[in-house]
Amino acid sequence: MVDIVLKTGTSLKDFLAALLYPLQSLTNSMDAFDTLMKKTAKFNGQKMVLEAALNDLFSITTDPKIKVENAFADGDQIYFYNNSEITKQYFFNDAENDPLYLYNSSELTLQTYDFIVLIPTTLHTAELERRVQSETTLIKLAGTRFTIQTY
């Protein structure tokens, strides 16, 4: 095999690159699609309505505005194992920084909140935070928990 590579020189590399081009192109497309899906997963109707309502209630018409974000990071870590198993089996590529795990909902650790209300530091006062807390409690979906932070 080494002799073939040495004798063919760059033409073998070019040939292999041409063979792998469709796979690389597909990988790039899937990466772009994954990024888009992660971005759009952050937007939902409840989040947009809550943001608009809070900014409207407090007459905030220019940036920076009050924002609402999901509490979960992009691509929640999913585990694929049972609680009775001592060792976890991970499925990921070494090149990936954040592996994907599969889990049962009963195996999740308790999340202290479901979404974050972000108040700009330039607008933040104790009174505004108290009022945002009160209004968010009235508007939010039943059973959801939130926290208020500044940005």
pLDDT tens series, the chain, 151 aa:
556 656 666 787 888 888 889 888 888 899 888 888 777 766 677 888 889 999 999 999 999 999 988 776 544 444 455 666 656 555 555 666 665 555 555 555 555 778 889 999 999 999 999 999 999 998 888 778 899 999 9
Are residues 151 and 136 located together in one domain of the fold? Answer: yes
Strands 115-119 and 67-70, by their bridges, are antiparallel
Range of the domain at 8: 1-41
Are residues 10 and 79 located together in one domain of the fold? Answer: no
Are residues 116 and 150 located together in one domain of the fold? Answer: yes
Distance CA 1, CA 11 (A): 15
Other Cβ atoms less than 10 A from the Cβ of 24: the count is: 10
Distance CA 54, CA 20 (A): 51
Q: Considering its fold, how many domains does the chain have in total?
A: 3
Burial state string for 100-129 with b = 16 or more CB within 10 A and e = fewer than 16? ebeeeeeeeeeeeeebebbbeeeebeeebb
Are residues 93 and 151 located together in one domain of the fold? Answer: no
Are residues 20 and 77 located together in one domain of the fold? Answer: no
Are residues 63 and 77 located together in one domain of the fold? Answer: no
Are residues 119 and 129 located together in one domain of the fold? Answer: yes
